[in-house]
Structure 1
Amino acid sequence: MKRLLNIIVVLALGILTITSCEKEAETGSEASSNPKVDMIDPGRAPSNEVLTVTGTGIGGVTSIVFDKDNISASFNPNFNTDNALIFRIPVDAVPGEQNIVFRNSKGVEFKVPFNVLGLPAITDVSNYNFSAGTNITLTGKNLGDVSKVVFRGQTAELQIVSKTETTLTVKMPATSLAQTKLDITNEAGTITTSQEFVCIDNAFLIFTDDYQNGFVNGSWGPAEVSATFSKSGTKSFKATYMKGNWSADGFANWDPGIPYSADYKYLSFWVKGGVESHTFYITGDQRAGGYGNSDRTAPIEVPANVWTYFKIRLSDLELWKKGGPFKQLGFWIPGPDNQDETLYFDDVIFIK
């Protein structure tokens, strides 16, 4: 209310200034050799917000610059009197603590400290998959003042476990959603993440900590459930590709197999690469090329020694192309040529 009254008063002063004297209307308020700012309201705000500066001798302003990357703010001189100035934060102002630098027609500069608030921005996530009660850590910027996180379009708030300027950890609740983005709110406003999160509780599981839904090890080479590395839980599927073997390692459901269902939209999985980066190929017994090491129509690039997330449309993979229930799903490599390579697969699922 106080801010509104200030704006009304300043606007009234501006109107009086315009109408009281034709010369003043042409030249604007007079500059001072000793401008003094008493207050800027609000003291922190996002881009495009209206700011009101009050003080003495602050007329005759010719330029306003936010000094983080020197972003200029446009303003109407009619809203600048000896005691007040109204202008908007530029839409491209850089978020963070900085000075607003004013210069008047006498060449005198004066500054006001200000904090431009930035919308949350998410650049990385600890996992795309979750079960009820698990924590997900989001990495990015402008996260220290986050006040609310919800599933996109929902109202129930997720528990914020911890937050810093660059990280935000939330506890994921039970949900009937198969996959969802997050709406994240801070002082600057609300954004929707580009990242989409998958509730494993509502997915069809092939491997999560162990074989699921009748699947077993269907590998040509050495493979096993391993506790050496995991992306979720405590275990992953360890597949070793022997030098020069051209083997296909993966999963099998020999009986009855997995019939086609339009409910399944994506195959997703995490894989931790080996010593070198390699191109692997997804293979399946009901794909057009059959199961084995001749089908190169579904390549994936697996970087060395890091976990990489894949989410592939089942309509592109055509695991049921031949018409029957699929019984084999694997990953093969032509080689490897230089040494044995060991990969770790986790959270191998169909997303509905």
Structure 2
Amino acid sequence: MKEIMKKNILLLSMLFVAWAFNSCEKDSDGSPVVEPGTPVFESISPTAAAGGELVVVTGSGLGDMVAIIFETDSVPAYLMPTLNTDKAILFRVPTDAFGGEQDIIFINSIEKTMRVPFNVLAFPQVSSVSTYTFKEGTQITLEGNNLNDVSSVVLTETGEAATIISQERKIMVIEMPATTAVRTTLDITNVTGEITTTQEFISITNSFIVYDDAYGPGAFNGGIQNWGWSCVVSETNKEFKTGTKSLKVEYSEGGGLSLFLGSDTWEDGHWFTDYYTAEYLVFYAKGDGKSAEITIRPDSPPWSDFATGEKTVSIPADEWTFFKIPLSDFVGGSGNFGRINFQITGSGTVYYDDLLFVE
């Protein structure tokens, strides 16, 4: 008899647990059981936010929401049912929401809706650019986000406007204007506001040109000349970063491209560094079929008091890579020089383009 009673008690206990579990089973994810009603809006905080930020909406009849839609281009937000009640809804602004004033549309399980005004903050973002060097008329492709509603692109340093050629959400093409700026970032404005790019752009025209589709005019009494050793130097229109040509250097073992900068080293005060005060050496380069280790050194005739120092860079194979090297990284000694050398470790072929000294 006692055994029967034990079994009955155990059965009743199991039935009670099953009933309790079933009563909570409607929302197995832990969200509260809230019947849908007629949603009425009371408040939203904040009233403006960027993608990823948390938003809280309060009101009544907010239970059993099945969709939250940002109106511009119908971008859905992720529902967090465990945090929602008939009095409050919590959600994050979608990272791909479009910027500007728009309604957020809430839809519940009986298809009743509520609209709440909101301002999505979607500032322009630029993550990569097609080139860092430019002339008047150069077209530059900017990649990033929130570029579809950009209305203005201007040069930070001087305020000249670039022309917007085409634009989509994640890509925009601009044409650079004539400018007196040597180096400049870009101020980009869309419906949310203005940002300044982290990328800096360099005017070829306003820099000291060593090579850009041709050797530059040089300093003082001479143009740019190749004084290299153990290498064959030529111009080619088969490979180039900008313009129509690049400098092709076919290095033998330990060879060096040595570019005379037009200095008149037989007269005092006629070094390249007397002619032009540079802060950076910039250039594009790529290895032909293999990477290359290049050591850059200032140079001059040996009887002069010339600069010392060096900088070694790795040039990847088959991919134009931009180098912007402070002269303080490799120019020591007196600081005076009239040539710049690019010596290879081993051998190989390297292409150079937009080779400039920049203030």
Give TM class, smaller chain. Answer: 0.5 to 0.7
> C-alpha deviations, 1:127-182, integer Å up to 9, x for none?
11111222211112221111111122655432111112221111111222111111
Identity of matched residues, %: 32
Which residue of the partner structure matches residue 268 of structure 1? 282
By how many angstroms is 1:187 displaced? 2.1
Cα distance change of structure 1 residues 322 and 287 upon mapping to structure 2, 3 Å threshold: farther
TM-score, normalised relative to structure 1: 0.68
- Which SS does the other structure have where 2:272 is aligned? coil
TM-score, normalised relative to structure 2: 0.66
- Which SS does the other structure have where 1:225 is aligned? strand
Whether the 8 Å CA contact 2:298–2:310 is kept in 1: the answer is: no
- Aligned pairs, number: 294
Structure 1 alignment gaps of length 5 or more: 1-30
- Which structure: larger Rg? 2
Cα distance change of structure 1 residues 102 and 253 upon mapping to structure 2, 3 Å threshold: closer
Q: Are residue 248 (structure 1) and residue 259 (structure 2) matched? A: no
By how many angstroms is 1:185 displaced? 1.5
Q: 2:352 aligns with which of 341, 345, 348?
A: 345
Q: Are residue 327 (structure 1) and residue 341 (structure 2) matched? A: no
Which residue of the partner structure matches residue 200 of structure 1? 204
Q: 2 CA distance for matches of 1:138 and 1:63?
A: 38
Structure 2 alignment gaps of length 5 or more: 1-33, 70-74, 265-270
- Which SS does the other structure have where 1:119 is aligned? coil
Q: 1:230 aligns with which of 240, 259, 270?
A: 240
Cα distance change of structure 1 residues 128 and 88 upon mapping to structure 2, 3 Å threshold: farther
Q: 2 CA distance for matches of 1:154 and 1:111?
A: 50
Cα distance change of structure 1 residues 241 and 173 upon mapping to structure 2, 3 Å threshold: same
Q: 2 CA distance for matches of 1:120 and 1:308?
A: 25
Q: 2 CA distance for matches of 1:296 and 1:228?
A: 34
Q: 2 CA distance for matches of 1:219 and 1:286?
A: 13
Q: 2 CA distance for matches of 1:305 and 1:315?
A: 29
By how many angstroms is 1:209 displaced? 0.8
Structure 1 stretch 200-209 or stretch 145-154: which is displaced more?
145-154
Cα distance change of structure 1 residues 65 and 217 upon mapping to structure 2, 3 Å threshold: same
> C-alpha deviations, 1:316-338, integer Å up to 9, x for none?
221x63454x23212112213xx
Whether the 8 Å CA contact 2:40–2:62 is kept in 1: the answer is: no
Q: 2 CA distance for matches of 1:296 and 1:265?
A: 15
Cα distance change of structure 1 residues 71 and 263 upon mapping to structure 2, 3 Å threshold: farther
Q: 1 CA distance for matches of 2:198 and 2:178?
A: 21
